[in-house]
Amino acid sequence: MPYSFKDYVLECVHEAPLAWRKGAIVMTLIINLVMLGLIYLGWHLQAYPTAYFLIGTGIIALLDVLIILPFKLWKANKAEIMTLRGSYTGARKELWELREQGVRIRNDGLTTGMVAPWSKEFGDWHAKVLDQAAILSMDLRHSLDPIDKISPWNNEVVAVTNPQHQKNVSVVSEMLSRLYEFLNRTAVIPN
């Protein structure tokens, strides 16, 4: 959702009452300390300086909204960017590792005679790939599931006569190709 300057101004307006309270507390402390210091020095004030209190509170509240709030927002944005960079880099690394696993799974599927254990391993691998792909890119995630077309060069020949197994091995090959293409063309975000 894109935010505008109007949203920023509204956020500042929402922050203003809290800033005013902070300013009032700080000014109360400052004025009381100054008055105690003046009493210690021998000065006796007849009245509490209300105008100074209001002006000081306003200045502190304004500084809070104009300096501290933007700093908090900047700091939160930097933290979010670092979190996203970490997720992005971690997902890329995990997908490269899953791709290596997938190559082994595909190669095992070409020669295996035990379809059921291979199919379970394929299903687990497939789920992990989809989870990591969703972290990295929803476009990648949707290109990996469902696989609606298999390229002719990824149509594998397997050792057993089982059409579903042959299809699953071919799906692994197609997913490996799509993963390789995506990971090679997407650049890593620089630090």
- What is the reported pLDDT for 166? 92
Written as six digits, the tokens of 167 are 């299809």
Is the separation of the CB atoms in 137 and 88 below 8 Å?
no
Q: What is the pLDDT of residue 188?
A: 55
* CA nearest to 171, candidates 92, 113, 100, 105: 105
Inter-residue contact 144 to 98 (CB < 8 Å): no
Per-residue pLDDT reduced to its tens digit, 115-151: 999 999 999 999 999 999 988 888 989 999 898 899 9
Alpha helices in 42-63 (DSSP H): 50-63
Contact, 137 vs 178, CB < 8 A? no
More confident residue, 110 or 10: 110
Give the 3-state secondary structure of residue 165. Answer: helix
- Per-residue pLDDT of 39-58, as tens digits, reads 778 777 666 667 777 787 88
- For the chain, the average pLDDT equals 84
Residue 2: strand, helix, or coil: coil
Q: DSSP letter at 64?
A: I
126 class by beta-carbon count within 10 Å (0-12 exposed, 13-18 middle, 19+ buried) = buried
Structure tokens at 81: 């960017």
